[in-house]
Structure 1
Amino acid sequence: MKAFYNRYGFMTLLTREIHRFTKVSIQTILAPLLSNILYLAIFGAMLQTREVGIDGVSFLNFLVPGLTTMGALMAAFQNPAFSLIAQKFQSTIQDLNSYPISDVEKSLAFILGGTFRGFLVGILTYTATIPFVGSQISNPILFFFSICVTSFIFASVGLVCGLILDNFEKMNFALAIVITPLSYLGGVFFEVSKLPGILSYIGLINPIYPLVNITRYAYLGIYEGNIWVHGIMALIFLSVAFITSLIIFRKGIGIKTR
C-alpha cells in the first residue's frame, strides 16, 4: 500500500481537525493565549529586575521565547490527543479504519492539525508580547521554524497519547504530571544551569529544554549550553516521536476493536 494515495481524503481529514478546534477557538486558542499573557504580566512584573546571566538581556526578553515555545507545545499536544479521546468517548474511533486513506495520511492529518494549532498559539503568544518588549527577532526564519518543529514533535506525542490512553482523566493526568512539569523545568522561566542540585541534571536531559533553547537563540541570538547538540537532539526527538506515532497507528492500538 502506498503511503500517500488519496490527497483529497487526507485534506478532508486535516481540514476536519483544523475546523474542530477553530469552532471552539475561545477554549483552544484564546484561553492558552491569555494564560501566557498572564504569565508574562505576573512574572515580568515581579521579576523584571532579575538578572538572567546574559548582559543586555532583560528578564522580559528572556521570557518571551520560553512562553512562545510552551504555548505552542501545549496546544499541539492537546489537539490530536483530545480529538482521539473524544472519538473514543463517542464510540466513533473505529470509523478511522474505513477511511480510504493510508495510515501515514491519517497520522499526518492529526499531527499537522495539532502542528497548525500549536504554531498559531505560539505566534499569537509572540505577537501579544510585542507591546511589552518590541518585535525584534535575531533570526526570524529559525524562530518560526523552531516553533513549527516544536509543534510537530508534540502533536506526534499527543497522537501517541491519544491512541494509548482511553479517557480524559488519564490524558489530563499525563498533561498535568508529565508535560507541564517538563515545561516548567525546561528553561521557560529561568536558565536551566541555575537549577539547584539534581534538578539541573534533570533539566539538561529534559526533551523540552533543547526546543526552548533553540527558540531563545533564534529570538535573542544567545543560548545556553551547546546549540548544535540541541539541534541534533531536536531532530532526534522529531524522528522518534513521528515514527513512534506512525507505528502505533499502523498497529491499530486504541482504534481496532478486539
Structure 2
Amino acid sequence: MNFHGIRAIYLFEMARTWRTLMQSIASPVISTCLYFVVFGSAIGARMGDIDGVSYGAFIIPGLIMMSLLMHSISNASFGIYMPKFSGTIYEVLSAPISYAEILIGYVGAAATKSTILGLIILATARLFVPFEIEHPFWMLAFLLLTSITFSLFGFIIGIWADGFEKLQIVPMMVVTPLAFLGGTFYSLDMLPPIWQTVTLFNPVVYLISGFRWSFYGVADVHVGVSIGMTLVFLGICLAMVAWIFKTGYRLRS
C-alpha cells in the first residue's frame, strides 16, 4: 500500500477545501440554518409532535442527511473531474500508485469533508432547536457510511461527466427530489397507504430513517433494513468503480 501517494492526493483535496472555505463549509451551513429558522422555528412552532418528537427536532436528521448527500457527491465529483478537465489525470494514472489507492485518496478526502460539514451542521442545529442523540455511536456510523457511499457515487459521476453541467444534473435533478420526498420533513406514517408503499422505492428513505433512529429511537423503516440498503448501494458503487478502472472508461480517452 503506497501511503505516500494516498496522503498526497488526500492532502491536496483537503487543501482545496481550506482555499474555498466559504463555498465548501460556510455556504451549506448557512443554507441549512435557514431551513432551521423557517421550518424549525417559524413553521415548527405551529405544528404538533411527530412520534413524540417536536417538529423542529424531527427534521434535524433529515436536513443533515440531505446536506451530506449533496456535498458528498459534489466534493467527490468535482475532485476527480478537475484532473480530467485540466489533463493532469494522466499524471495520476501513470504514477506508481494503484487504482485502489487513487480511490482511497479522492473518496477519503470527499468523505472527510462531508463528515466535518455534517458535524458542524449538527452543532449549529443546537443553537436553534434542543435535541438529544439517543445512539451517538450509530449516529456517527450512519454519518461516515453515508459520506463514504455517496462520495463513491460522486466519484462515478465525476468520471462520467464530460462537462460542468453534467456534474450538477444528478445532484439537482435526482438526489434533491429524492431527499425532499424521502421523509426529510415528514414521517411516512403521515402519507396515504399507497404513497407509503411507493416511497419505499426511494433509497434516501432508508438513510434518513436510520439516521433519525440514531437520534430519537424512532424510524419509518427498521434500522437493520436501513443499514442493509446502504451497504447494498455501497457495494454497487464499488463494483461500478472497479469496472471503470478495469476498462478505463472516460479515463484513458
Q: Same fold (TM over 0.5)?
A: yes
Name the residue aligned to 1:34.
Answer: 30
Rounded Cα–Cα distance in structure 2 between residues aligned with 1:94 and 1:240: 26
Rounded Cα–Cα distance in structure 2 between residues aligned with 1:201 and 1:167: 37
**Structure 2 alignment gaps of length 5 or more:** none
Name the residue aligned to 2:174.
Answer: 178
The change in CA–CA distance for 1:78 and 1:31 in structure 2 (over 3 A counts) is same
Cα RMSD, aligned residues only: 1.7
The two structures have a TM-score, normalised by structure 1, of 0.91
Question: Which digits, 9 at most, give the CA deviation of each residue in 1:116-173, with x for residues without a partner?
Answer: 1111111111100112223521011111111111111100000010111111111112
The change in CA–CA distance for 1:246 and 1:20 in structure 2 (over 3 A counts) is farther
Rounded Cα–Cα distance in structure 1 between residues aligned with 2:170 and 2:224: 30
Rounded Cα–Cα distance in structure 1 between residues aligned with 2:96 and 2:224: 41
Name the residue aligned to 2:149.
Answer: 153
Name the residue aligned to 1:65.
Answer: 61
Name the residue aligned to 1:49.
Answer: 46
SS of corresponding position for 2:231: helix
Whether 1:97 aligns to 2:93 is yes
The runs of at least 4 consecutive aligned structure 1 residues that moved more than 4 Å come to: 196-199
Residue in structure 2 matching 1:81, options 77, 92, 115: 77
Whether 1:162 aligns to 2:153 is no
Residue in structure 1 matching 2:185, options 184, 189, 194: 189
Question: Which digits, 9 at most, give the CA deviation of each residue in 1:209-237, with x for residues without a partner?
Answer: 11111110001111113222222112212
Question: Which digits, 9 at most, give the CA deviation of each residue in 1:81-137, with x for residues without a partner?
Answer: 012222232222222211211101111111111111111111111100112223521
1:74–1:118 contact (8 Å) kept in structure 2? no
Which deviates the most, 193-202 or 85-94?
Answer: 193-202
Identity in percent: 29
AA aligned to 1:10 is: I
Whether 1:209 aligns to 2:208 is no
Rounded Cα–Cα distance in structure 2 between residues aligned with 1:203 and 1:125: 26
What is the number of residues matched between the two proteins? Answer: 252
Name the residue aligned to 1:116.
Answer: 112
**Structure 1 alignment gaps of length 5 or more:** none
2:80–2:106 contact (8 Å) kept in structure 1? no
Rounded Cα–Cα distance in structure 2 between residues aligned with 1:39 and 1:102: 42
Rounded Cα–Cα distance in structure 1 between residues aligned with 2:242 and 2:11: 20
2:183–2:209 contact (8 Å) kept in structure 1? yes
Rounded Cα–Cα distance in structure 2 between residues aligned with 1:198 and 1:169: 36
Rounded Cα–Cα distance in structure 2 between residues aligned with 1:256 and 1:225: 42
Rounded Cα–Cα distance in structure 2 between residues aligned with 1:199 and 1:77: 28
AA aligned to 1:66 is: G
